[in-house]
Structure 1
Amino acid sequence: MKLQNGTYATRALNERLPIELGRLPRDIAGTIEWFLQKYEVPQKELAANLGVSEGRVSQILCGDTNLTLRSLAAVAAALDAHFEVRLVPNDPQRKAEEPSRGAGDVEAPDDLINR
């Protein structure tokens, strides 16, 4: 899909932006929750490592919080981990052209990410 003119680009942005603003925090929260479950890290431990309340960790995990990059970096550091980010096309035809991932790459299961 090529965005050929400003009108089309603006319309596409206006249609997709609310969808992405809803999806991204849930995907991130699902990924953090998956990590906590997989590595058996209690929310209480994450809260202590971050220096925040358990309530704040619950807010992060609910996926309704607009997290800053600094907050995400703090979560990763507190878990002695890092985030891997991919930008994936919505168009299934373009998605099929995407290169395969390496054997060491792990993604959170869809059932945790797509709530």
Structure 2
Amino acid sequence: MIRLQDWIDEFQGDPDYEFDKLAVEVGEQIFARMEELGMTQADLARQMGVSRARISQILRGNDNLTLKSIVGVAIGLESRVDVQLKPVRSIGRLSRRDCRPVIRMGAHMVGEDPPASVLAAAA
């Protein structure tokens, strides 16, 4: 039987996996900041001048956001964006931590949990 971590390790460094993981992490950060501010999706949509459906898309991670869109969300959440590219520490098999992209929104660091889609697929 394959372990979840083995399955996750297999996809480390795969561009599609890394993109999906990052999209979910960004959505989680946005949602956490909204909760801190007591802001609803409708509130954020009004703040940004977009539809509530657009905010829902962003939160689900179903969209390839541009940097401009991410900055717009951050401004709507009274935050700023800080993107860092982290070097891979070893050649060969990459660890989950080595591959993990880092995006900060305000003081919030992205989580390290795998995306829900990965957990559901492994179940």
* TM-score tier (shorter): 0.5 to 0.7
Aligned length: 92
User: Per-residue CA shift, 1:5-62, capped at 9, x if unaligned?
Assistant: xxxxxxxxxx611111211111111110111112211111100011111111111111
Mapped partners of 1:51, 1:61: distance in 2: 16
Letter aligned with residue 68 of structure 1 = T
Give, in angstroms, the shift of residue 64 of structure 1.
1.1
In structure 2, what is the equivalent of residue 58 of structure 1? 56
Partner of residue 91, structure 1: 95
SS for the counterpart of 2:109 is: coil
Letter in 2 for 1:24: L
Counting aligned pairs with the same residue, the percent is 29
Tell me which residue corresponds to 1:16. Answer: 14
Q: TM-score with structure 2 length normalisation?
A: 0.61
Long gaps (5+) in structure 2: 1-12, 89-93, 100-105, 117-123
Alignment match, 1:48? 46
Q: Residues 47 and 69 of structure 1: is their aligned pair in 2 closer, same or farther, counting only changes over 3 Å? A: same
TM-score w.r.t. structure 1 length?
0.65
Distance 1:92 1:108, change over 3 A: closer
Q: Which runs of 5+ in 1 are unaligned?
A: 1-14, 96-103
Q: What CA RMSD, in Å, does the superposition of the two structures yield over aligned residues?
A: 2.8
In structure 2, C-alpha distance between the alignment counterparts of 1:93 and 1:47, rounded to whole Å: 33
Other structure's SS at 1:84 match? strand
SS at match of 1:80: coil
**1:66-106 deviation per Cα after TM superposition (whole angstroms, max 9, x unaligned):** 111111111111122112333344536869xxxxxxxx954
CA distance in 2, matches of 1:93, 1:70: 27
Partner SS, residue 82 of structure 2 = coil
Q: Do the aligned partners of 1:33 and 1:61 also contact (CA within 8 Å) in 2?
A: yes
Q: Is the 8 Å Cα contact of residues 29 and 108 (structure 2) preserved in structure 1?
A: no
